[in-house]
Amino acid sequence: MSRGIYRPGIELHCHSNCSDGSLPPDEVMRHLRRCGVRVAALTDHDSVEGLELARSTAAELGLGFINGCEFSALHQGQVIHVVALDFDPAEPRIQRLLHAAGESRAERARGLCAALTAAGFPVSWEEALAEQPRAEAIGRPHLAQILIRKGLCADFDDAIGKLMEPGRPAHVPETWIELRDLLPRLKEAGATSVMAHPGRYRFSTEGRRGFFRAFKEWGGDAVEILCGQGSGTDVQRFGSLALRMELKISAASDFHHKSKWGRPNHYLFDIPPRWQDKLLWLGKSWDPDNFPAPEFVAAAGPAEA
């Protein structure tokens, strides 16, 4: 299949320190601008806290801005992430979703502190709050950071993957909204819903087909076929399946830290040119005169690492 290196100039999935990213929202916008991004969404986990600052900074920088939030949900017992875009954060349905998610997050964080401590990896509630002062925004990476600093875990994978995932010694059951309830509500609230990082969910081939179909039926709009470290196989596999279900395709970085995705070339994506018109396009969010169409800057070649 013919391929091309695509420069969308758009970033539809990234995090600030309002959730588990390391930069404040204004610094995220400055970083993206330096990376050549022209339109950005800030999509913190279950939070819209950073949108105002991100939006005003983006305006100063001449960067297009889209409201965003990465919601956590459950489907067949698995945690699924949905990137909601282009909505009014004050909309009452959105506010109710955020309130419930915040309560779940704070409760889970307390549970995780107790479970980690009981498993021999002590983290106090005070330490957790020192890492992220808003209880409703505490995530597993904050607790992982504490364990790494104490020398009790080697890295995030060691702390999250080996301790806090289902079946691990300090797992705490998740209490997020069901995906089948989340998607219709996001639609009613006027948001565009994107399935985040499909490669992270465990399904059989048949199960994944059913999952994509349900995502569409319940009101989903698009699927990230490239997100952060996604491989070429994922692009083909998830792209074909998304298009078969009449879902749009999206590409984004899932930026959390400069160290990992600090290079401008990360914003070059390797996807088949013939899918260009299938890309999620939020044209109403900015003036198209100021936002040239995405371009293919090179043919073939390896994807950017």
Site for Mn ion, rule CB under 5 A: 20, 70, 81, 196, 254
141 binds ligand AMP (CB under 6 A): yes
Helix count and strand count (H, E) for the chain? 10, 11
Q: Which amino acid is at 163?
A: L
Distance CA 127, CA 134 (A): 12
Residues in the chain: 305
| 187 CB-near residues (< 8 Å, 6+ apart) | 193, 219
Radius of gyration of the chain (CA): 19
- Distances, alpha carbon 292 to alpha carbons 7, 8, 39, 177, in Å: 11, 9, 11, 38
Structure tokens at 303: 């994807």
Residues 54-93 contacting ligand AMP, CB under 6 A = 72
45 binds ligand AMP (CB under 6 A): yes
Which partner from the list ligand AMP, Mn ion, none does 160 bind, CB cut-off 5 to 8 Å by kind? ligand AMP
Candidate residues 139, 228, 239, 272; the one interacting with ligand AMP per rule CB under 6 A: 139
User: Is the Cβ of residue 54 or residue 279 nearer to ligand AMP in the bound state?
Assistant: 54
Which partner from the list ligand AMP, Mn ion, none does 140 bind, CB cut-off 5 to 8 Å by kind? ligand AMP
Which partner from the list ligand AMP, Mn ion, none does 196 bind, CB cut-off 5 to 8 Å by kind? Mn ion
Site string for ligand AMP, 223-262 (x = CB under 6 A): ---------------------------------x------
Which partner from the list Mn ion, ligand AMP, none does 36 bind, CB cut-off 5 to 8 Å by kind? none
Kind of pairing, strands 39-42 and 64-75?
Answer: parallel
Note the residues at the interface with ligand AMP (CB under 6 A).
20, 45, 72, 139-141, 156-157, 160-161, 256
